[in-house]
Structure 1
Amino acid sequence: MEKADRRSLRHWGLLVGTLAAMLVLVVCLVGEKKYEKTTPKTTLQLRKLLRRDPRTLCQGMNILKIPSSRRNIARPPNPGFNVVTENSGRRIVARTQYRIVTMLKTPRQITLDNGLIQLIVSRPSGDVVGIKYKRSDNLLEPNNLRNNRGYWDVVWNKPGDNIYYVDKLQATRSRVIMATEDQVEISFVKTYNVVSQQLGAPEVPLNVDKRYIMRRGRSGFYAYAIFECLEGWPEVKIDQVRMVYKLQKDKFQYMALSDTRQTFMPRANDRKRGQQLAYPEAVRLTKPSNQALKGQVDDKYQYSMEDKDNKVHGWISTDHSVGFWMITPSDEFRSAGPMKQGLTSHVGPTTLSMFVSTHYAGKRAGIELKKGEAWKKVFGPVFVYLNSAPRSKNTTGTLWNDAKEQMIEEVKRWPYNFTQSKDLPSSDQRGSICGRLIVHDRYMNESLLSKSSAYVGLAAPGEVGSWQTESKGYQFWIQADKLGYFLIKDVRPGNYSLYAWVPGIVGDYKYEADITIKPGSKIKLGNLTYEPPRNGPTLWEIGIPDRSAAEFYVPDPHPTLMNKLYKNNHSDNRFRQYGLWKRYEELYPHHDLIYTIGINDYRYDWFYAHVTRNIGKQKYVGTTWQIRFKLNNVISQGNYTLQLALASATSSEIQVRFNNRSIAPPHFSTGLIGGDNAIARHGIHGLYWFFSINVPSSLLHEGNNIIYLTQSRGGAPFRGVMYDYIRLEGPSIRHADT
């Protein structure tokens, strides 16, 4: 009888143990599935997941106490791990067995597969011809040619030649750099053919090594390219370097750039049937397939973004609940600094990664290599991320939020330590620099100075402000804290200048000496003092010195030329509407802008762009704006100063005259400046220009005065400038601290 009882207890023990093991198994999650909140239904959901994917194994289970207030999510913090937080305040960590990364080589292509996605790259050219994910055989447009789905290209020309070429960088040989169960890296190399160049065949004089990396447990792939020009090769000018992905046009119709810039987009055929406006990129949709878009304007430049904000963007297939995202974890390899604007995604559906472009900056922002000049630069890596979610009323929001979280993770991992190129140094092979930037302006309140956080950066050695057009090297920028302290980490070894500018303060700062970063460097600069341009006390000012014209009056677009993405609630992007420059003639039909100090308000009375005027038959002429002000007295001893800052200029010349509209030559002229074309491309700024103009007291009167600002260059509708800030200073006043 006792033996029978013992057998019964053993049976019950086995049964209880089995049930406990089954309960533990239930909470193991698969891959990168995520549920935003654990509910009583969680067990049932997980059980269904486990049935669908038998790869999930429970290994080394740990039950840990965590604060019950923490949000309950299920998301792998690292490849191969899932985390489930229960309402009881207990966390269960389960190991997920991801499939190994496999590679299949054929004469035409190489296929990489990690069980989550499949990447197909043409051989030997190195173009991405297919991306398989979930139930889709190819997220890229299969009807496009194989070299027109996922590719790199370069726009270049020979200096002095007006003919521009597009080189799709077709590789001639491929090789496997690394192949393990956890990671595969493959290379496709295009080698410059000196003989072909001598025979007259146009080929960009560069060696280019295109790399693709697939890692175990990652829902996406990494891509980068190494560009090199050897000593002795021909001179070349490069205006654009980019990576392009053209997605299936029947699947992807929803585009997301930021929390507030998301919308259903027209199709490519909608643009073809539409009405072209002032330039080919701008089209009014007259017969769109989605009638809600009828009458709207679509222009790829409406979706541009500053590089400092361009971390993640892409497309969503709402029918399949799938997202395709371009994630850029660092700006170091982009051109022209953090404020440089560039294209993102646009109708196609197309997703871009822009590394070099002259958009919003002009030709000066391109790369010009002199004859015989050796040069090398790595562009990337960037991460092409794919995600999915259960269908719901907010599928787009779920996918977008998940893409942002993935972007944050990639930024934290930078610089990557898994790439196999010696040209991509890891964190321990880099250096850092720290210090404090103090602004000293004896005419400004110290409390005002402390409200702005300076942008501080390292870029190639050059003149003050040269970082705006520097593209050959790498740049590293950080925003200092409110007290001016900054720390720039993970800087590549090399020679740099340290630059800075401060929102709310005019001008540019440059540290007096060049800086050499070596592996492991930890440079401490201490306190740095920036004394911005200032000759006397402020008599009056117009605008805010922030390198943008956003604070000025931006009109509503014409009702028939609107993009509803920027209607109403998105006031900070009002300037992205089409045709705003035309509104100037409607607002000032009989005379040009007149602004009276003390009466007018620049937020409502100063037009955002100083543009030309159409006087009939498409003849455009320059315009003259007036600033009217009073001086109770004029100090004859000492000069006045007009500080003039421009946020943008396109083939323009600003002539400044004091109390005499017709005097020739003008009292001051900028000369012909600018080529950023920001007015046409819906940018509220381009390159920054600053002029400190000496004003002899003899040019001013007691009582009423007028400053005439003439944009003298006509001939086209987009010639003009955007002002950043204007300030009139009186003669210098001696202070006790000077």
Structure 2
Amino acid sequence: MPPPPPPPPPPPLLLLILLLVMQIVGGGVRLASAAATPPGQLHSRNDTGTRNSAANSSIGVLLLSASSDQVVIDNGLLQVAISLPGGDVTGVQYNGLDNVLDVLNDDDNRGYWDVVWNLPGHDIIFDRVHGATYEIVSESSDQIEISFSRMWNISTNDIFVPMNIDKRYIFRSGCSGFYSYAIFNRPEGWPDIEMDQVRIVYKLREEKFHYMALSDDRQRFMPTARDRSTGLALAYPEAVLLTNPEDQEFRGEVDDKYQYSIENQYNRVHGWICDNPPTGFWMITPSDEFKTAGPVKQDLTSHVGPITLSMFVSTHYAGKEVGIKFSNVEAWSKVFGPVFVYLNSASPEDGSSSLWEDAKRQMYEEVNIWPYDFTACDDFPTAEQRGSVVGQLIVHDGYVSEQDMYGASAYVGLAAPGPAGSWQRENKGYQFWTRANKMGLFEIEKVRAGDYNLYAWVPGFIGDYKYDTNITITPGCSINLGTLVYKPPRHGPTLWEIGIPDRTAAEFFVPSPYPTLMNDLYTNNRKNRFRQYGLWDRYVDLYQEHDLIFTVGTDNYRKDWFYAQVTRNAGNTTYRATTFQIVFELEQVNDMSTYYLQLALASAMESDLQVRFNNASVEPAHFSTGAIGQDNAIARHGIHGLYWLYGIEVPSFQLHGGTNTIYLTQASAKNPFQGVMYDYIRLEGPPEA
């Protein structure tokens, strides 16, 4: 087979001059594009790093034309129109579709960036980020990067977030998609603000895109926005019962965008498929280093609209604790992205089924070449400008094993300096995480230069590890930390335990949903059963006469421990506190000794968890968390939010030989979504001599 022809030579100087003049004067001349890709072909990367049509390896130069209100980039595979000077993506022409975006929406409501922010103590402001100036940052025959920036000044104090924002797009010749990122910065002296959301939104054509894919086991044909508009709103606006859908197969189902959330660590590719012609629109996120709150933070992805998101900052599944707060004495800057909007197509014979597999393949390619070496941003370091850290994590818990244990599958990461576990609330810097292998060996690669702490947590053990010394990453460095030893919180031998310390409530009993309130995506998907709507209301159905009572040694937490301690619906929009009981036996109690209750929570929402030992009515309670939690994971089908760990001293006089009862009361009860999810509970005896 002969080798593919070389790329064409750079355009003549005269053509470049003509193009520059067109941009300056805002002429409406449209240059002819390079040979377009025939419809129905998947695209693959060749050995030069560009993507070619499988049918035609000829790639023309990038072509750009500008008028008074838009710029259009044609790279031989697709054409993208972007508004001037706002920088909103108004059109994407691909695979015979004149625009994959929703043409019924206004131009600034198709593909855009937005920010949710507020002045402290004031109402939130929804800021659709429009650029004020347009600039070609870099340009060659095979790549162009364009910028749409907005500089803040005091006159826009109550309209725009006090932040300089530079939105950028990168187009590469023969590349079946485009890259997007933004540079946020603010100097000292600007107003105190809170910034709770930064994201990109793409709204697709509803009559074309009907199939959504999030993972191998989370994909299906979806209802439409019109179906939602004719449905019945449920306990909150995002959840809608479909009562009169165009496709009657969806009748009686619930649709809720929070049912499609994904943890940052797994949020690599998601999107929508059009079946005529077979076309995919995908959001690919090669790294989560620029996202907030660490690898297990959950966030929105794609949902009915059809809409595809890239979430960089949000308070979902965590609350205001992970919103970014700025004071007027701090300067700050951060690069969000780049992320890759990928479009693919398939032959009519292959149909749409191959598009998801191709999107995954492309995702792996983007991950492998991260960090990109083709951005024109001085604050986006290449691989050569980054460093790495290696080591081995060992767990020492003499009450589990006399020998040290490997930190198998440990989460190990670098984040801004702070106390142990602070990474899950960190929101201004960059985070870099990996998973250790079965021997606890880890390598954190491609880390930006800077000062960090190394954090870790190990599934199967409670608590957080933090390396004692700050770690400074310099360009090209490779730091070997050797063997690190984590000693999980422990005071004595395990007398009994409930659950698995993995920071989720997934191992507990998740009930079946109401037959009339189901999402069929999860009907036969047991591991995602918790994503069904209305499970909090099943508690009263299962515990009509009294609250949950769990007997250690007899009951099985997988069947007998309800996944969330929620409020009790008392009717007439009133709710009551609930009390879980743990009943256990002690042959004898060591006088003048201290026992410990290790209490790990996977989630908390406006809760006050009170703990009492053998006295259900003692006041004050023997222990109380006080008011904690804003993660709203119960309502948003999250199975976990932020992690909370409490080591509670239990003096021996609070226990006795024979039958004992621990009362766990979630005392806050104003609505159905208040409550906690437990991760793990363990009673420890006094230390052994």
TM class, shorter-length: over 0.9
Aligned to 1:173: 133
Per-residue Cα deviation, 1:137-189 (whole angstroms, up to 9, x for no partner): 1100111111100000000001122x110111111100001111110000000
Residue 28 of structure 1 deviates from its aligned partner by 6.6
What amino acid is aligned across from residue 182 of structure 1 in structure 2? D
Q: Please list, as runs of the form range in 1=range in 2, the aligned pairs for 1:255-654 lying within 5 A after superposition.
A: 255-392=212-349, 395-445=351-401, 449-450=405-406, 452-568=408-524, 570-654=525-609
Aligned to 1:722: 677
Query: Cα gap change, 1:82/1:170 in structure 2, threshold over 3 Å: closer, same or farther?
Result: closer
Aligned to 2:636, which of 657, 673, 681?
681
What amino acid is aligned across from residue 297 of structure 1 in structure 2? V
Q: Does the alignment pair 1:182 with 2:142? A: yes
What amino acid is aligned across from residue 460 of structure 2 in structure 1? G
Paired residue secondary structure (2:626): coil
TM-score by length of 2: 0.93
Paired residue secondary structure (1:671): strand
Paired residue secondary structure (1:512): coil
Query: Cα gap change, 1:265/1:648 in structure 2, threshold over 3 Å: closer, same or farther?
Result: same
The answer as to whether partners of 1:82 and 1:95 remain within 8 angstroms in 2 is no
Instruction: Quote the Cα distance in structure 2 between the aligned partners of 1:305 and 1:298.
Output: 16
Instruction: Quote the Cα distance in structure 1 between the aligned partners of 2:680 and 2:221.
Output: 37
What amino acid is aligned across from residue 585 of structure 1 in structure 2? V
Aligned to 2:115: 154
Query: Cα gap change, 1:437/1:628 in structure 2, threshold over 3 Å: closer, same or farther?
Result: same
Query: Cα gap change, 1:629/1:402 in structure 2, threshold over 3 Å: closer, same or farther?
Result: same
Aligned to 2:68: 107
Residue 449 of structure 1 deviates from its aligned partner by 4.3
The answer as to whether partners of 1:29 and 1:94 remain within 8 angstroms in 2 is no
Q: Please list, as runs of the form range in 1=range in 2, the aligned pairs for 1:58-207 lying within 5 A after superposition.
A: 75-79=44-48, 96-161=57-122, 163-197=123-157, 201-207=158-164
C-alpha root-mean-square deviation of aligned residues, in Å?
2.1
Instruction: Quote the Cα distance in structure 1 between the aligned partners of 2:523 and 2:379.
Output: 45
Instruction: Quote the Cα distance in structure 2 between the aligned partners of 1:354 and 1:205.
Output: 20
Q: Does the alignment pair 1:222 with 2:182? A: no
Report which stretch shifted further, 672-681 or 484-493: 484-493
Residue 81 of structure 1 deviates from its aligned partner by 7.8
Instruction: Quote the Cα distance in structure 1 between the aligned partners of 2:43 and 2:142.
Output: 23
Per-residue Cα deviation, 1:350-403 (whole angstroms, up to 9, x for no partner): 0000000000011011111012321000000000000000124x6333000000
What amino acid is aligned across from residue 152 of structure 1 in structure 2? W
Query: Cα gap change, 1:606/1:94 in structure 2, threshold over 3 Å: closer, same or farther?
Result: closer
Residue 319 of structure 1 deviates from its aligned partner by 1.8
Higher strand share: 2
Query: Cα gap change, 1:283/1:528 in structure 2, threshold over 3 Å: closer, same or farther?
Result: same
Residue 330 of structure 1 deviates from its aligned partner by 0.3
Instruction: Quote the Cα distance in structure 1 between the aligned partners of 2:300 and 2:50.
Output: 36
The answer as to whether partners of 1:30 and 1:96 remain within 8 angstroms in 2 is no
Paired residue secondary structure (2:399): coil
Instruction: Quote the Cα distance in structure 2 between the aligned partners of 1:638 and 1:475.
Output: 42
Aligned to 1:711, which of 666, 678, 681?
666
Per-residue Cα deviation, 1:424-473 (whole angstroms, up to 9, x for no partner): 00011111111111110001137994483110000111111111111100
The answer as to whether partners of 1:658 and 1:708 remain within 8 angstroms in 2 is yes
What amino acid is aligned across from residue 217 of structure 1 in structure 2? G
Residue 202 of structure 1 deviates from its aligned partner by 2.4
Paired residue secondary structure (2:533): coil
Instruction: Quote the Cα distance in structure 2 between the aligned partners of 1:227 and 1:473.
Output: 12
* Identity level (%): 58
Aligned to 1:660: 615
- Unpaired runs of 5+ in structure 2? 8-33
The answer as to whether partners of 1:80 and 1:95 remain within 8 angstroms in 2 is no
Paired residue secondary structure (1:670): strand
Q: Does the alignment pair 1:254 with 2:211? A: yes
Residue 248 of structure 1 deviates from its aligned partner by 0.7
Greater RCO, CA 8 A, separation 6+: 2
Residue 55 of structure 1 deviates from its aligned partner by 8.9
> Which of the two has higher C-alpha Rg?
1
What amino acid is aligned across from residue 130 of structure 2 in structure 1? Q
The answer as to whether partners of 2:252 and 2:517 remain within 8 angstroms in 1 is yes
Residue 593 of structure 1 deviates from its aligned partner by 0.1
Per-residue Cα deviation, 1:588-632 (whole angstroms, up to 9, x for no partner): 001000000011000000000000011121111110010000001
The answer as to whether partners of 2:51 and 2:176 remain within 8 angstroms in 1 is no
The answer as to whether partners of 2:416 and 2:431 remain within 8 angstroms in 1 is yes
- Unpaired runs of 5+ in structure 1? 1-23, 32-52, 57-72, 85-92
What amino acid is aligned across from residue 609 of structure 2 in structure 1? I
Aligned to 2:190, which of 209, 220, 233?
233
Paired residue secondary structure (2:681): strand
Per-residue Cα deviation, 1:67-98 (whole angstroms, up to 9, x for no partner): xxxxxx994443578999xxxxxxxx999331
